[in-house]
Amino acid sequence: MPTKTIILGEEHIQKNKTPIKLLSHLGVSGTSIYLNSSETMRPSDYAYLELISKEYARGKDLIFAYNDPSNRQLGCLFIGCWNDGVVE
């Protein structure tokens, strides 16, 4: 099943454009929060990607990725580049 991309508050049509890139994901260990490199994580690994905030930090976007809409707590937050909002 192809990944569905969502821009909160907008309807989005996928076209052949620059794909989404996931750069770092938010990790939690005890009371510490940190960023991990996302070199092995691809947008296509997830069923759903939501653009939470464009240019959230230093020109990078905040993206939420998950597979099961009824179990979103298993999702992951990423810093990345939404670009044109398509998945390869």
User: Given this model, what pLDDT does residue 32 score?
Assistant: 84
Q: What does the pLDDT read at residue 12?
A: 61
pLDDT of residue 15: 56
Closest CA to 81 of 32, 17, 29, 30: 17
Query: Which token pair is 28?
Result: 């939690």
State the pLDDT at residue 28: 81
Fill in the DSSP letter of residue 10. B
Q: What is the pLDDT of residue 14?
A: 52
Q: Are strands 60-66 and 48-57 parallel, antiparallel or unpaired?
A: antiparallel
What pLDDT score does 87 carry? 92
The predicted structure's pLDDT at residue 45 = 94
For the chain, residues with pLDDT lower than 50 are none
